[in-house]
Structure 1
Amino acid sequence: MTIENVLLVSAALFAIGAYGVVSRRSLVTVIMSLELMFNGVVIAAVAFSRFTPAAALLSGDPLTAEAIRSALTGHAFAIFVTAVAAGEAALAFALVFAMYRATESVEITDASEMKN
Structure 2
Amino acid sequence: MDATFFLIVSAILFAIGAFGALIHRSATRKLISLEIMFNAELLLFLSLSTIYAPLNGLIFSVFIIALTSSEVGVIIPIIVLLYRRVKTVDTTKLAEREGDIP
> TM-score, normalization: structure 1?
0.80
Query: How far apart are the structure 2 equivalents of 1:110 and 1:78?
Result: 36
Unpaired stretches in structure 1, ≥5 consecutive residues: 53-69
The structure having more radius of gyration, on CA atoms, is 1
The answer to whether 1:26 aligns with 2:26 is yes
Q: Which runs of 5 or more residues in structure 2 are unaligned?
A: none
Cα distance in 2, alignment partners of residues 114 and 86 from structure 1: 29
1:14 alignment partner AA: F
Structure 1 pair 4–91 and aligned structure 2 pair: CA distance change class (3 A):
same
Distance across 1 between alignment mates of 2:54 and 2:60:
11
RMSD: 1.2
Alignment of 1:98-109 (within 5 A): 98-109=81-92
Identity %: 31
What displacement does 1:47 show? 0.6
CA distance in 2, matches of 1:110, 1:88: 23
* Deviations, residues 15-72 of structure 1 (Å, cap 9, x unaligned): 11001000000000000000000010111111111122xxxxxxxxxxxxxxxxx321
Alignment length (residue pairs): 99
What is the CA–CA distance in structure 2 between the aligned matches of 1:91 and 1:114, rounded to whole Å?
A: 21
Q: What residue is the counterpart of 2:77 in the other structure?
A: 94
Given that 1:14 and 1:41 are in contact with CA atoms closer than 8 Å, whether structure 2 keeps it comes out as yes
Q: Within 1, Cα distance between the matches of 2:54 and 2:73?
A: 31
Q: Specify the SS of the correspondent of 1:16.
A: helix
The alignment's TM-score, normalised by the length of structure 2, stands at 0.91
- In the alignment, what sits opposite 2:17? 17
Runs of 4+ in 1 over 3 A off after TM superposition: none
